[in-house]
Amino acid sequence: MSSLEERPPDHTVKLAGRIGAATRVTILTGAGVSAASGVPTFRGVGGLWRTYRAEDLATPDAFTRDPQLVWEWYAWRRETVAACRPNAAHAVLARWSRRDGTTLITQNVDDLHLRAGSRDVVRLHGSLWELKCADHCAAGVTPWRDERVPLPERIPRCPHCGGYARPAIVWFGESLDASDVDRALAATACDVFLTVGTSAVVYPAAGFVHESKRRGAFTAEINMDETAASSTVDLSIRGGAEEILPALDRLIS
Ligand code: BV8
């Protein structure tokens, strides 16, 4: 019996009441939701950006400068994620995401929401498991799925033009897919906007909670630490997503 099952804290009960009474619920997740699965986060203790410089690996210039280095990093992340399994937080969100009026938006590229059974997820930053043509050839603009681990080539090739392939992931300085941004913006018109496991520093993803508040939503965050959104949201719950979301789910169901 976890401590949360004995007597859930008042803020968890309050949030459960809000979600239970809501017609439209939007959830935005970040790396913290996959932390319990063993997927490294970016900015926390042991985070990826603590070890690597984002501008050396996650930008178009970095890829132009040294495609092999960038692919080594992504090949390592693919192998790391391949050994991970969705956790209890993904399982709860998979159930919630199938309810009418609920939209699940993620910044994560690990696809653990999909593997947990979530459907129709708005994946703002793409996927580790999808590639596209680095030379923007006509056929290679559309990402293709490649789940081979390890990848057979050090730098995968575009099957259409033979040029380099790159991860179908949004790098810093690159625009997000307009239809994904439109879907996320539309989902800010909701009764409850819940952010889970994100430091809320990367835009435009970090802007959606502010937009939902401006449009009258009750806003809440579940995070281990304070975030850039903590002073904005109506309710901030400190703790692990893999504990808090199941506790909320028990109160709502
Ligand atoms: C854009 C690479 C328009 C993919 C990522 C200068 C030039 C160009 C752009 C900018 C610029 N200055 C600012 C910008 C905008 C920039 C931006 O926001 N930069 C920030 C850093 C200031 N944004 C962009 O560039 C975006 N594009 O704006 O296009 C444009 C175009 C041209 C010119 C100007 C503008 C594109 C965004 C790029 C997204 N790509 N990475 C990859 O390999 O992954 S972002 C990277 O951070 C990840 O993808 C991730 O999705 C994202 C957010 O991180 P989080 O998910 O929040 O993870 P983090 O580790 O930070 O936090 C985890 C949290 O969980 C922590 O708080 C921790 O406490 C908590 N936690 C841990 N365990 C748990 C937990 N919580 C709950 N339970 C637990 N168990």
- Please state the domain count of the chain: 2
Task: For residue 178, give Cα distances in angstroms to 29, 37, 54, 89, 95.
Answer: 19, 30, 23, 28, 27
Task: Check whether 4 has a pLDDT greater than 70.
Answer: no
Residue ending a domain, choose from 142, 169, 196:
169
**What is the arithmetic mean of pLDDT over 218-225?**
98
Active site residue 160: no
For 44-79, write each residue's pLDDT tens digit. 788 888 788 888 899 999 999 999 999 999 999 999
What distance in angstroms lies between residue 251's CA and the mean position of ligand 1's atoms? 32
39 vs 4, more confident: 39
- The answer on 244 and 187 residing in a single domain is yes
pLDDT value at position 230? 98
pLDDT of 6: 66
For the chain, give the mean pLDDT. Answer: 95
d(C-alpha 247, C-alpha 184), whole Å: 26
Same domain, 108 and 14: yes
Q: CATH no. for residue 65?
A: 3.30.1600.10
Q: Report the distance separating Cα 226 and Cα 234, nearest Å.
A: 14
pLDDT at 2: 60
Q: Are residues 31 and 58 in the same domain?
A: no
The reported pLDDT for the residue numbered 52 is 83
In the chain, what percentage of residues exceed pLDDT 90? 90
Distances in Å between the Cα of 129 and the Cα atoms of 31, 75, 109, 169, 206 are 16, 10, 8, 9, 24
Catalytic residue among 11, 90, 113, 125: 125
Q: Which of 42-51, 96-105, 212-221 has the lowest mean pLDDT?
A: 42-51
CA 108 from centre of chain: 3
* Residue-wise pLDDT tens digits, 141-163: 999 999 999 999 999 999 999 99
Atom of ligand 1 nearest to the CA of 167: 43
DSSP-derived 3-state class of residue 145: strand
Cα gap 79→56, rounded to integer Å: 20
- The 10 Å Cβ neighbour count of residue 109 is 25
Say whether both 161 and 227 belong to one domain: no
Domain that holds residue 137: 40-83+126-169
**Pairing, β 192-196 against β 218-223:** parallel
Of 115, 147, 169, the last residue of a domain is 169
Pocket test for ligand 1, best of 41, 49, 122 (most atoms within 8 A of CB): 41
pLDDT at 1 over 60: no
Cα(190)–Cα(152) distance, integer angstroms: 45
Q: Which of 105, 136, 169 is the last residue of a domain?
A: 169
| Cβ-contact 125, 176 below 8 angstroms | yes
pLDDT band, residue 117 (cuts 50/70/90): very high
Whether the per-residue pLDDT at 253 is higher than 90: the answer is no
The rounded distance, in Å, linking the Cα atoms of 176 and 125 is 7
The answer, yes or no, to whether any atom of ligand 1 lies below 6 A from the CB of 156, is no
Is this prediction's pTM over 0.85? yes
pLDDT interval class at 3 (50, 70, 90): low
DSSP-derived secondary structure for 80-137: HHHT----HHHHHHHHHHTSTTEEEEE---S-HHHHTT--S-EETTEEEEEEEETT--
pLDDT (mean) for 2-25: 86
CA dihedral over 61, 64, 65, 71, signed as positive or negative: positive
Q: Are residue 117 and residue 223 in the same domain, yes or no?
A: yes
- Position 181 scores a pLDDT of 98
Distance 24 CA to ligand 1 centre (A): 26
Q: What's the CATH number where 22 sits?
A: 3.40.50.1220
